Chain A
Amino acid sequence: MFKNYLKTAWRNLLKNKGYSLINIGGLALGIAVALIIGLWIHDELTYNSYYNNKDRIAQVFQSQTFNGNTGTGPAIPLPLEPALRDGFADNFEHIMMSSWTQQGFLRVGDLNITRTGNYMQRMAPEFLNLEVIKGDRDGLREINSIMLAESTAETLFGNQDPIGKTVRIYNQYDLNVSAVYKDIPFNNSFNDTDYIIPWDHYVNNAEWIQNSKDNWGNNSWQMFVQIADNADMSTVSERIRNVKKDLNEDTAEFNPQLMLLPMDDWYLRSNFEDGKQVGGRIKYVWLFGIIGIFVLLLACINFMNLSTARSEKRAKEVGIRKSIGGQRSQLINQFLSESLLVVVFAFVMAVLIVLLSLDGFNDLARKEIAFPWESPLFWGLALGLIVFTSLLAGSYPALYLSSFRPVDVLKGTFKAGKYSGLPRKILVVLQFTVSVAFIIGTVIVMQQINHAKNRPVGYTMDGLVQIPTFSEDFNDKTELMREQFIGSGAVVEMATSSSPTTRIWSNRSGYTWEGKPDGFQEDFAWTEVSVDYAKTIDLKILEGRDFSRDIASDSMGILINETAVAYMGLENPVGTIIRDSDEEDPGPDMKIIGVVQDMIAQSPYEPVKQGWYVYDRYNNFSYYNLRLNPNQSASQSLATVERIFKDNFPAIPFQYDFVDAEYGEKFASEQRIGTLSGIFTALAILISCLGLFGLTSFVAEQRTKEIGVRKVLGASAFNVWNMLSKDFLKLVAISCFIAVPIAYYVMNGWLQEYPYRVILKWWIFGLAMLGAFGITVLTVSFQALKAARQNPVKSLRTE
């Protein structure tokens, strides 16, 4: 019986090739989108699956409140380590201090490379599940050792055995390679940890860190923990909540709250608002999940619509089958078998589409997803998807078609009743509602990205290049380098800074000034710069003056930005004296010499933070900022810069970044989301149009005779086109009315997350509607005009 069903189904497919192509093709596209999104979601959800103890690993987060604004982040102070080790030992299997993942200059012989790595405590290999392939698993035991990732070891030593060899870091310290570990796979935290150096090496060689051992106010490090086997994550998190507040009076006023962020949440749920965890990337998982379901739904709607639209043709078959003994249940099974066959074909095609597009998708989404040929879970879900789609797409046609009464259809008097097209119309409306909402959503996302991109940054990025200077080799050479760079003609100005122009690396508090309100909990972005910083990056001085080499007191001068003026409540900022509020050992007073324009150094979607630019007296800089000569090509200038750099620092790798590219990274995530949702929207529209195309051709076919008669009676091609298109355009109009308020509501909500956001304008909605109408007219017209141009005599004779 089943075989008979499939045979009929197969012949039906062959007989209506165009229909089958639209049906299977559309469904295949929909399934392909659902599959790709499914793979993406799976990849997102399995982030960090490399770590065996994932469930027990966490990072300590801290939130503090300044002037009522609560900020939460992973930075913690050093005294927390002994506090937890002494007071809460039972709760933890491991407590591991770590530096931030930072760029390091590695040198072996004449080979200089830059890699990212960490300083970590001795348990790191166990904590991070490292698979040590050479050397000592306990590779951080000796203070002068370094563990290398396999890829880094290969770059540095080629085929030689690296164990016991020396690597020079920052051209300052010689370290012995103690172990080589397999690179941590891409889809995991710490995948960029190319090397690990003992934590003690870090502490012992930096006076400022040693000085911070008892300083609860300096939050500059990370702490990772693995809770004890019998401990409960949220209980431990709760236990340590007030440790800092209880142990330290000075910082208690900022209400420091500690908590554990489980490893499971690092990637997808690491956003905080007012000290509360509020999700994060997980929202994109939801977003794409919803898009995937909708696209699949659109494809299923096509299937339903095309099947029922053909009902009048198949009505006869139903009637005959019933009159010779076919039961309704048998017919339902028959139609479901047909839809199963179509879905299986579509699935095979979808797998092909996925295979062909996976590389491109990986590029776009910055993923390394492989097709899960060997995953039973995937095939299980695929089977589920096939059955689900067959039922979803096939049940309505099956119920509808099998309900025909044989008397009606066999007598030839069968006419789909006045309302029989209604479900079909509702489905078309649903399709276009989704499509129009997608169009609006995508346009607004793009607009918001452009809006932020076009936001004035406050300085000039064009031709601005930064070079990392993370080595003491650079100390006291700034003036010398500046002269050489400018003298070569490749550079017009140069200055140093303690953080990149596109970032804030340090925040400070603990200062007073005249007029500072009582109890004001100040917090400033802190950047140390050399004399020509404002000039180099083209930052405007709004009041006062820039630093000057000729005025000795400028070494105690600072520039503040516009926001800081308002924040500090200064009427006449220039000349204001700023005092260190540390009573025991105060630093020297500073004096505001100028006010600079606000520049974006953090998120382009957030307001600019109050910031100070302080004269760099202690070689605290981390970057050279170079303004390339605009009158010659950048590559030519960079070649000159590289030569001068290497002449002066032969042991340091030469590395540079264009500031505009760095800045562009801030949009990468939104840009990717925008591009992907754009592509999915286009596919959704394509699928809807395929369906519409199929529907129109059926309507045109059904009305061939009517069109013939009308033409004989004098109807023009336009009349016929109008007759066929009008119905569909009405449906699209209804869709727009439903989609616009929904899209407005959702997108408005999305935009609220961005303090700096585009204002929704009505023309966007108008444009989206116009687009939907345009696409509909094009799709429908193709068939309508074909029908309209047909020779009426021909169509009449076929009856």
Chain B
Amino acid sequence: MITIQNLKKSFRTEEVETLALNNVNLKVDDGEFVAIMGPSGCGKSTLLNIIGMLDNPTEGSYNFAGNEVSGLKESQRTELRKGNLGFVFQSFNLIDELTVFENVELPLIYLNISKSERKQRVTEVLERMKMAHRANHFPQQLSGGQQQRVAISRAVITKPKLILADEPTGNLDSKNGLEVMNLLTELNQDGTTIVMVTHSDHDSHFAHRVVHLFDGQIVTQNQNRPVGAAI
């Protein structure tokens, strides 16, 4: 699904140029659950953003499901992203002005899906995430764990092939964190590919493979268990 070769990303600010990613090579297969780990500032989020097509690499190639992504314009990236990708963030990133239902519904609106189908799919997903009873609440009225469940609902509503999660449990206590990890595992078992950035050794055990980044370079990769095998 994902093939990254000799990927470089540098940020140029007024004074300095930071090389956030340096010669990264990475392959992620369909259905795989990959965890990315490493010290703060090593480039994890940068890598995830590039995989998520929110950002362009400076150099190197990135192939997503047979499409070369590097060098695409923003509108083309948006087009490719639509329906194929779901995001889960550490800080949930829900729209405060919209209800739970509407937040989850939003990606479907952008896909021009009919109203009745939207309602049906959102209700289904919220049921599954055990958030149906909170459908008309606003994000601020929910706990962190609940907010993250809404965010995951929103990420999966389009039935994406790939979910990208940047420290999804970073703002949660261990109980809520575990719940989120179980949800992600479940989604993975249903066939969704997952790439997750985490600081937690505990969370990384849910993944098939752990990639270690250091100073913008991949240093080691550990296989926890073969793809397809249960935990």
- Asked whether B87 is an interface residue with its Cβ less than 8 Å from the other chain, the reply is yes
- Asked whether A406 is an interface residue with its Cβ less than 8 Å from the other chain, the reply is yes
- Asked whether B83 is an interface residue with its Cβ less than 8 Å from the other chain, the reply is yes
Interfacial residues of chain A within 1-22, with CB under 8 A of chain B in the complex:
1, 4, 7-8, 11-12, 15
Contact yes or no, B83 A321, CB < 8 A: no
Looking at A323, A326, A327, which has the most chain B CB atoms within 10 Å of its CB?
A323
Binds A, one of B32-40, B102-110, B185-193: B102-110
Contact check: which of B54, B83, B109 meets A4 at CB < 8 Å?
B109
Contact check: which of A15, A317, A325 meets B78 at CB < 8 Å?
A325
Contact yes or no, A324 B78, CB < 8 A: no
Contact yes or no, B106 A406, CB < 8 A: no
Contact yes or no, A412 B91, CB < 8 A: yes
Please name all residues of chain B whose beta carbon is closer than 8 Å to the beta carbon of A7 when the two chains form the complex.
Answer: 102
Closest CB-CB distance, B115 to chain A, in whole Å? 9
Contact yes or no, B78 A320, CB < 8 A: no
Closest CB-CB distance, A680 to chain B, in whole Å? 37
Closest CB-CB distance, A724 to chain B, in whole Å? 26
Closest CB-CB distance, A106 to chain B, in whole Å? 72
Closest CB-CB distance, A472 to chain B, in whole Å? 84
Give Cα A326 to B77, complex, Å.
11
DSSP class of A's interface residues: helix, strand, loop or mixed? Answer: helix
Please name all residues of chain B whose beta carbon is closer than 8 Å to the beta carbon of A30 when the two chains form the complex.
Answer: none
Contact check: which of B91, B98, B110 meets A325 at CB < 8 Å?
B110
Looking at A1, A319, A326, which has the most chain B CB atoms within 10 Å of its CB?
A326
Contact check: which of B45, B91, B106 meets A324 at CB < 8 Å?
B106
- Asked whether B93 is an interface residue with its Cβ less than 8 Å from the other chain, the reply is yes
Contact yes or no, B106 A321, CB < 8 A: yes
Contact yes or no, A324 B54, CB < 8 A: no
- Asked whether A666 is an interface residue with its Cβ less than 8 Å from the other chain, the reply is no
Give Cα A26 to B79, complex, Å.
39
Contact yes or no, B78 A322, CB < 8 A: yes
Give Cα A326 to B96, complex, Å.
17
- Asked whether A424 is an interface residue with its Cβ less than 8 Å from the other chain, the reply is no
Please name all residues of chain A whose beta carbon is closer than 8 Å to the beta carbon of B93 when the two chains form the complex.
Answer: 316, 319-320, 323, 410
Give Cα A317 to B107, complex, Å.
13
Give Cα A328 to B82, complex, Å.
13
**Of all chain B residues, which has the CB nearest A10?**
B97
Interface membership of chain B positions 26-64, coded 1 if the CB is closer than 8 angstroms to chain A and 0 otherwise:
000000000000000000010001001011000000000
**Of all chain A residues, which has the CB nearest B106?**
A324
Contact yes or no, B97 A317, CB < 8 A: yes
- Asked whether B74 is an interface residue with its Cβ less than 8 Å from the other chain, the reply is yes
Please name all residues of chain B whose beta carbon is closer than 8 Å to the beta carbon of A15 when the two chains form the complex.
Answer: 96-97
Give Cα A12 to B75, complex, Å.
27
Closest CB-CB distance, B58 to chain A, in whole Å? 13
Closest CB-CB distance, B199 to chain A, in whole Å? 16
- Asked whether B16 is an interface residue with its Cβ less than 8 Å from the other chain, the reply is no
Also in contact, A325 and B81, with CB within 8 A (given A1-B109, A406-B54, A407-B54): yes
Contact yes or no, A323 B54, CB < 8 A: yes
Interfacial residues of chain A within 319-343, with CB under 8 A of chain B in the complex:
319-328, 330
Also in contact, A327 and B89, with CB within 8 A (given A320-B95, A322-B78): no
Interfacial residues of chain A within 91-137, with CB under 8 A of chain B in the complex:
none
Closest CB-CB distance, B44 to chain A, in whole Å? 11
Also in contact, A410 and B109, with CB within 8 A (given A321-B95, A328-B75): no
Give Cα A407 to B53, complex, Å.
9
- Asked whether B149 is an interface residue with its Cβ less than 8 Å from the other chain, the reply is no
Please name all residues of chain B whose beta carbon is closer than 8 Å to the beta carbon of A317 when the two chains form the complex.
Answer: 95-97
Also in contact, A407 and B55, with CB within 8 A (given A8-B98, A324-B154): yes
- Asked whether B111 is an interface residue with its Cβ less than 8 Å from the other chain, the reply is yes
Please name all residues of chain B whose beta carbon is closer than 8 Å to the beta carbon of A319 when the two chains form the complex.
Answer: 93
Interfacial residues of chain A within 374-426, with CB under 8 A of chain B in the complex:
405-407, 410-412
**Of all chain B residues, which has the CB nearest A15?**
B97
**Of all chain A residues, which has the CB nearest B110?**
A325
Please name all residues of chain B whose beta carbon is closer than 8 Å to the beta carbon of A323 when the two chains form the complex.
Answer: 52, 54, 81, 87, 93
Give Cα A320 to B110, complex, Å.
12
Contact yes or no, B110 A326, CB < 8 A: yes
Contact yes or no, B109 A407, CB < 8 A: no
Closest CB-CB distance, B209 to chain A, in whole Å? 25
Also in contact, A330 and B97, with CB within 8 A (given A322-B78, A324-B154): no
Interfacial residues of chain A within 271-299, with CB under 8 A of chain B in the complex:
none
- Asked whether B207 is an interface residue with its Cβ less than 8 Å from the other chain, the reply is no
Please name all residues of chain B whose beta carbon is closer than 8 Å to the beta carbon of A4 when the two chains form the complex.
Answer: 102, 106, 109
What are 9 A-B pairs at a CB distance below 8 A? A1-B109, A317-B97, A323-B52, A323-B81, A324-B86, A324-B106, A328-B78, A410-B54, A411-B45
B interface residue numbers (CB < 8 A to A)? 45, 49, 52, 54-55, 74-75, 78, 81-83, 86-87, 89, 91, 93-98, 102, 106-107, 109-112, 154, 158
A interface residue numbers (CB < 8 A to B)? 1, 4, 7-8, 11-12, 15, 316-317, 319-328, 330, 405-407, 410-412
